[in-house]
Amino acid sequence: MSGPLQHKPTDFSFAVPPTLEQKHSGVPSRLMTDAREMKQKLMSTAKPANPSGVHERPRLPPGISREDFNRAIAELKGSLGENYVELNDKPLVDGWYMEHPNTHDAFHIVGQDELVASAVVYPGSTPDVQTIVRWANKHEIPIYPISMGRNVGYGGAAPRVPGSVVIDLGRRMNKIVNIDAENASCLLQPGVSYYRLYEEVKKRKLPLWIDCPDLGGGSVLGNACDRGVGYTPYGDHFGMHCGMEIVLPTGELLRTGMGAMPGPNGADNPTWQSFQNAYGPTSDGIFSQSNFGIVVQMGFWMMPETSHQSYMITFPREDDFPKIVDIIRPLAQQRVLGNVPQLRHVIQELSVTGFSKEHWFPGGGTNERRIPRDVIRKHASKMPCGDCSWVFYGTQYGDPAAIKTQLDIIKKAFSAIPGSRMLLPEDVPPEHYLHARVKVCSGEPVLRELDWLNWVPNAAHLDFSPISPTRGRDAEIVHGIVAKLYKKWGFDLFPTLCVAGREMHYIANILYDRASLDEKRRAAGLMRELIAEAAKEGYGEYRTHLLFADQVAGTYNWGNNALMRFNETLKDALDPNGILAPGRNGIWPKRFRGKGWEIMGDEVEKAQSGGAITPKI
């Protein structure tokens, strides 16, 4: 391969995705060309779901007759308006990232119509959300809130209990309530995406940065609720939130932090977005990765804009890996490293180009065979990274003179690894992935990170993301488990390590063809064994897909499941009728607990071959 990589010209016959002006979840105009190219690439390999349409729809909430359900829906329409309650009875469409469904998990692992809503409701205000919650209590119908519903790889917009009513908060509650330039903070409703917030900051010419994940289509509030991460120094999204407003499962309204104290003359408290903890127990944490409340407003700190310099460092040998981790640890603890850097395996230099596996490995483009190491080596040796094994992506921030000093320290530290090489953006061609990292690591949300989904046709992904200490020997154990099991189940391994000073997130992506029952079964089997084997060594996931929530929650079982018993006590006190997102994060309300809803062992795989993920009731 020589010269810049060229993709095929875009096929413009695909419908143009909506813009941000047209829809809260739309594409910013500056990214429309990228979006159309991405859509064409992804949709050109899309296949119909297999199996599709097994269940009668709309699927009913558990224990509710169709007659009672219809009556309850008519009542809800009467309260909210006919247009704001939609039955989920049309064919399910997976779409693609920028045109995602709010009816089911677009990256279904079990049948497409297993994890589905019975209906979707669109509240326009906090009182509407309270009305829905009270309605759910009256009819004992489970409800499931989403902000944007793009939670890709973790369940998307799907409810854990089939037949739940999904509350799509984002469609009508998408105001940027406030951006306070002096305090460098904002207050948002659920439907504000990273794209929207970024465009607004630019439009107002504010000297502020947002912090976004790899893709910008998610809700700032929703991502923080699920404890997602980004790549500037403000990358801990929940850690950077300040103040929440929450509808509790009984319909009452709560403000946390300084927001609990009224401001003068009925205004919001003036320090609501300035101080996180206020007085008394800190309650915010129980509303993230839980099912204890519906967050309708949330404050966030924003980073003052600054100079920045992204770079990559390549390392030649596979075995360098633990040593790299041990060098990162003190650099991160001393805050020489500006952000949480990523350490990736060289296979990703191929996948992030957006070219399929078939392109690199003709005849082997599916998950039938893993791409051999020598094929990766052959191609990498002709790319800017060269014939290496690991690639480190980092960014430094602040005054340019300080950045220069930091880069010298970093270069010197990594020179302990023979053959390491630092590359700056000007050292690589314009289409290289490093330029996308420059943007994401300075708070400019892009679409480029979708490129690797083109690796196999009709791809969906599932993420295994355990946490371990930042230590070479732990990194080796985790990597050893992951590498062994990926080989056993026959998937290409794309490791990304987000390495902080004391802990690291090992993110392993499982890419599978959504129409292949065999690949889905293997993906689920791999995930199940990864969770179990990592837990034996004390490594637990920081976040997981809905279907694996029970298994992951079960690994946090110290003291005879003390933590889960505590969560269940809270759940039963806050949500006595068990209506809010039952089963989310493995927390089941009394009404469902111990009645066969928990998914353990190989039940996900069994569900793929005709078994059910719901108990017979």
Shortest distance in whole angstroms from residue 169 CB to ligand ADP: 5
Shortest distance in whole angstroms from residue 112 CB to ligand ADP: 18
Q: In this structure, are residues 515 and 50 in contact, taking their beta carbons and an 8 Å threshold?
A: yes
Nearer residue to ligand ADP within complex by CB, 222 or 341:
222
Residue 405 Cα distances to 83, 287, 401, 409, 555, angstroms: 59, 41, 6, 6, 44
- Return the range that interacts with ligand ADP (CB under 6 A); candidates 143-151, 446-454, 515-523, 591-599: 143-151
Residues 47-76 that bind ligand ADP (CB under 6 A): none
Out of 30, 542, 556, 593, the active site residue is: 542
Residue from 88, 118, 151, 367 in contact with ligand ADP (CB under 6 A): 151
CA-CA-CA-CA torsion sign (193, 194, 197, 203) = negative
Shortest distance in whole angstroms from residue 531 CB to ligand ADP: 19
Q: Is 104 helix (H, G, I), strand (E, B) or coil?
A: strand
Residue 614 corresponds to which tokens in the numbers above? 């719901």
Residues 206-245 that bind ligand ADP (CB under 6 A): 218-219, 221-223, 225-226
Shortest distance in whole angstroms from residue 238 CB to ligand ADP: 11
Shortest distance in whole angstroms from residue 224 CB to ligand ADP: 8
Residue 329 corresponds to which tokens in the numbers above? 């640890």
Nearer residue to ligand ADP within complex by CB, 218 or 466:
218
Residue from 59, 150, 241, 379 in contact with ligand ADP (CB under 6 A): 150
Question: Cis peptide before 58, with omega less than 30 degrees from 0?
Answer: yes
Q: State how far the Cα of 463 lies from the Cα of 487, in Å rounded to an integer.
A: 16
The neighbour count for residue 591, using CB atoms within 10 Å, is: 18
Residue from 20, 38, 60, 295 in contact with ligand ADP (CB under 6 A): 295
Nearer residue to ligand ADP within complex by CB, 346 or 447:
447
Residue 190 touching ligand ADP (CB under 6 A): yes
Nearer residue to ligand ADP within complex by CB, 214 or 226:
226
- Return the range that interacts with ligand ADP (CB under 6 A); candidates 85-93, 141-149, 307-315, 361-369: 141-149
Phi-psi region of 63 (alpha: psi -120 to 50; beta: other; left: phi over 0): left
Residue 147 touching ligand ADP (CB under 6 A): yes
Could you confirm whether 194 is annotated as catalytic?
no
Q: Specify the residue for token string 């970093």.
A: 410
Residue 145 touching ligand ADP (CB under 6 A): yes
- Return the range that interacts with ligand ADP (CB under 6 A); candidates 140-148, 262-270, 397-405, 517-525: 140-148
- Return the range that interacts with ligand ADP (CB under 6 A); candidates 13-21, 139-147, 348-356, 524-532: 139-147
The DSSP bridge pattern shows strands 466-469 and 143-146 to be unpaired
Residue 103 touching ligand ADP (CB under 6 A): no
Shortest distance in whole angstroms from residue 18 CB to ligand ADP: 16
Residue 146 touching ligand ADP (CB under 6 A): yes
Shortest distance in whole angstroms from residue 282 CB to ligand ADP: 18
Q: State how far the Cα of 443 lies from the Cα of 211, in Å rounded to an integer.
A: 5
Site map (CB under 6 A) of ligand ADP, residues 474-513, x = contact:
----------------------------------------
Could you confirm whether 154 is annotated as catalytic?
yes
Q: State how far the Cα of 183 lies from the Cα of 304, in Å rounded to an integer.
A: 10
Residue from 133, 169, 188, 343 in contact with ligand ADP (CB under 6 A): 169
Which residue in 507, 401, 506, 406 sits closest to 449, CA to CA?
507
Out of 154, 194, 486, 539, the active site residue is: 154
Residue 530 touching ligand ADP (CB under 6 A): no
Q: How many residues does the chain have?
A: 617
The neighbour count for residue 4, using CB atoms within 10 Å, is: 9
Q: In this structure, are residues 143 and 132 in contact, taking their beta carbons and an 8 Å threshold?
A: yes
Q: Is 204 helix (H, G, I), strand (E, B) or coil?
A: coil
Residue 524 corresponds to which tokens in the numbers above? 């689920």
Q: Is 181 helix (H, G, I), strand (E, B) or coil?
A: coil
Out of 421, 543, 584, 591, the active site residue is: 543
Residue 584 touching ligand ADP (CB under 6 A): yes
Q: Specify the residue for token string 């119509």.
A: 113
Could you confirm whether 543 is annotated as catalytic?
yes
Shortest distance in whole angstroms from residue 526 CB to ligand ADP: 23
Query: What type of residue is 189?
Result: Q
Shortest distance in whole angstroms from residue 144 CB to ligand ADP: 7
Q: State how far the Cα of 201 lies from the Cα of 203, in Å rounded to an integer.
A: 5
Q: State how far the Cα of 37 lies from the Cα of 98, in Å rounded to an integer.
A: 12
Element (H, E) at 121: strand 117-121
Q: In this structure, are residues 384 and 428 in contact, taking their beta carbons and an 8 Å threshold?
A: yes
Angle CA 218–224–228, to nearest 5: 75
Instruction: Give the residue numbers marked as catalytic.
Output: 154, 542-543
What are the residues binding ligand ADP (CB under 6 A)? 145-151, 157, 169, 190, 218-219, 221-223, 225-226, 294-295, 581, 584
